[in-house]
Amino acid sequence: MGQPTAEKTGARGFDHIDPPDTEIYLDCVHCGFCLPTCPTYLVLGNEMDNPRGRIYLMRAVDEGKAKITDRFVEHMNLCVLCRACETACPSGVKFGFIMEAARGQIERNYQYPPKERRFRKFILDTFTDLGRMSTLTSLLRFYQKLGLQKLARSSGVLGFFGRLGKMEALLPPIPDRQELPEVMPAKGEKRGRVGLLMGCAQRFFLPQVNEATARVLAENGFEVVIPKDQACCGSLLVHEGERERGKGFARETIDVFERASVDFIVVNAAGCGSVMKEYWELLHNDPVYRERAEAFSKKVRDASELIAQADLNGRLRELKLKVTYHDACHLAHGQKVRLQPRKILKAIPGVQLVELAESDFCCGSAGVYNLLEPDVAQKFLDRKIDRIKETGAEVVVSANPGCTFQIEKGLKEQGLNIRVLHPMEVLDGAYQGTIPPQP
């Protein structure tokens, strides 16, 4: 059992550092319109695992009627932070902000049991440390090349490693690293100068997505700057409540892209883009960075958002492909980007886009949710794979690395030979005349 740290919880259950904004949760009129869109409510069927119930719990703690207990933490942590409730809410409740703030309170004012604390620390420290990620992916590439992965998976030995074994199941084939140049010149008439965020998971596990994004941007008239000194953007930390550490990475990211003097900052990972568009909220109490964060957030664009602003460069070749599109939560609900990736796919000659039922229902990835809550995440994944099977598509298009790993795992579990590609990989494929081979 975890413990509230008594010295930090007072008469009101939250401390004074970024508590959930009362103004936001008072907007909730308890109408329940969000309930049918909440994945945890649909799967778990518990009132405390829907937005209305979670707001009720936050309010009880804020008013000192309840404390940050195991039960409170469980209901907050079971939320996938998909923000589907924000899309559905007629009162405009900004649920993402209050949930991130509530998790910040948990992080400071609650002691996880030692085993859980160690696991969370390992996950968050690893994914946000580029040096550690580089070493880890080199070792994992070696593990795959030596055939040890096949052996481990077929022997069933991974079952003895608990959540680490489940993490292994998400591992994609890791390609050799290719260094991107610091600047890629625009082709044809120049439309602007953009900075490309490399991300953490994307940079190390799916470098081909960054390469494709840079090529597509250059092909469509953008000079692409890829600052070598960029670090993690902090999104994972913000989602998991480590707001102070997240703020540090946010300040660093702002510094890096200010130095690059770019018109836009392009992101191809939905979770990162969503938090970067909201740095203004994260740093609103920071006198040095507040205005700079506002200016920065206004410049952030998802890659598909920027590319779809104008007609695509006409040198597209035919790709005979039946594809379906999965809406990553932080792109569809967090950034309201839904039409642009579809517009791009429809513009490619030969591509047949089949709509996916429940396309914006969470696949269970949700940052590191599938590592922290693997059993619930699996329920979401099974539902997503069932919907994908109905489409008959040979490619699932996903604009978030976490969703890609999760959906690939689900497809593999069911023996389905369906690729998962980023919209920029499909578009790049149209410029190259073929989609990329499986790494």
Residues of this chain that bind ligand SF4 (CB under 6 A):
28-34, 37-40, 51-52, 54, 79-85, 88-89, 91, 93, 95
- Quick one: 373 or 428, whose CB is closer to ligand SF4? 373
Contact 220, 251 (CB under 8 A): no
- Quick one: 28 or 133, whose CB is closer to ligand SF4? 28
- Quick one: 216 or 381, whose CB is closer to ligand SF4? 381
Residue 282 phi, psi (nearest 5): -60, -40
CA 406-410-416 angle, 5° bins: 130
Q: Rounded to whole angstroms, how far apart are CA atoms 76 and 338?
A: 27
Burial of 417 (0-12, 13-18, 19+ CB in 10 A): exposed
- Quick one: 33 or 143, whose CB is closer to ligand SF4? 33
Residue 149: CB minimum distance to ligand SF4, A:
32
The 8-class DSSP code of residue 46 comes to -
Q: Which residue has the tokens 């890829």?
A: 226
Residue 52: CB minimum distance to ligand SF4, A:
4
Residue 42: CB minimum distance to ligand SF4, A:
9
- Quick one: 80 or 381, whose CB is closer to ligand SF4? 80
Residue 80: CB minimum distance to ligand SF4, A:
4
Residue 103: CB minimum distance to ligand SF4, A:
11
- Quick one: 54 or 108, whose CB is closer to ligand SF4? 54
- Quick one: 10 or 32, whose CB is closer to ligand SF4? 32
Residue 38: CB minimum distance to ligand SF4, A:
3
Burial of 185 (0-12, 13-18, 19+ CB in 10 A): exposed
77, 95, 169, 410 from 154: Cα distances, Å = 32, 42, 12, 17
CA 124-127-131 angle, 5° bins: 120
Secondary structure (DSSP) of 131-175:
HHHHHHHHHHHHHHHTTHHHHHHHHTGGGGGHHHHHHHTTPPP-P
Residue 1: CB minimum distance to ligand SF4, A:
24
